[in-house]
Amino acid sequence: MDIPDSPPIARLAPIIAHRGASADAPENTLAAIVRAADDGTRAVEIDVNTSADGVPYVHHDERLTRCTGHPGRLHEQSAARLDTLYAGAGMPGFEREPLARLETLLGLVIGRRLALNLEIKPPPGRERITTTAICDVLERCWPADRTLVFSSFSETALRCAAERLPELPRALLAGAIPPDWRTALERSAAINLHCAARLFDAAPAAELRAAGHGLYCFTVNDVQTAQGLFDAGIDGVFTDHPALLLEQVRIPT
């Protein structure tokens, strides 16, 4: 799939709640999305993998242990098993926060009128299976007039998303901006590039932006770093502390 010479930027809000307001509520949960919306955030980022029987769940790690306290890999568990788990491990007061199905969380995102960055998190070899299951849910649930950007480190997953839902824009995730970013974006059918803030390089960033692509940085949790990135011309940042950045960062117009 070809990328236009001057593609439109896949625009999210300048400040995006990373896995929800994940400093104040368990990441990738309904509680984290509610907190982000209550804090005034206009866009949230989530991670999605699928159960053994093809049901998408909002969860970052391949293994369940860190967030649920249970062993095993998410994609090896049935939906019936995953529906019994809680995802607030390690955060007092959230011990019974459920591990959310994507469909359930989308209802909340839509109801709170938030833009969404959906990161596809397929285990190796499950790129097409995972992406297809996610697209099945989006076709049922996601309004055509609302902002959603797919992102992934997997070029294969992004190409699958482009084949299935070409109207939804895509972002390639990277650590540093790759030297071959033009061909990497073309290979993955992506419009944006989302890179690690700690590896930000102003020179390729300026070239990428001049070519008409969107550039967002993750994960930015202090005001000084965020301000420097915005002053360098990026489009937005992903943060665990959206309320802090919304209050103290000056967004260039």
Q: What is the DSSP letter of 77?
A: S
First and final CA of the chain: distance in angstroms?
A: 33
List, for residues 26-72, the tens digit of each pLDDT value: 999 999 999 999 999 999 999 999 999 999 999 999 999 999 999 99
- Work out whether strand 192-196 and strand 15-18 pair parallel, antiparallel, or are unpaired: unpaired
List, for residues 224-241, the tens digit of each pLDDT value: 999 999 999 999 999 999
Domains and CATH numbers, the chain: 15-48+115-248 (3.20.20.190)
Handedness of CA 110, 49, 128, 137 (dihedral sign): negative
Which residues are CB-neighbours of 47 under 8 A, at least 6 positions away?
A: 19, 28, 58, 59, 60, 119, 121
Whether the predicted pLDDT of 109 surpasses 90: yes
List, for residues 158-201, the tens digit of each pLDDT value: 999 999 999 999 999 999 999 999 999 999 999 999 999 999 99
pLDDT on residue 144:
93
Apex 16 CA angle, 15 and 20, nearest 5: 140
pLDDT on residue 6:
36
Average pLDDT over residues 77-105: 96
List, for residues 208-223, the tens digit of each pLDDT value: 999 999 999 999 999 9
Q: Is 159 exposed, middle or buried (0-12, 13-18, 19+ CB in 10 A)?
A: buried
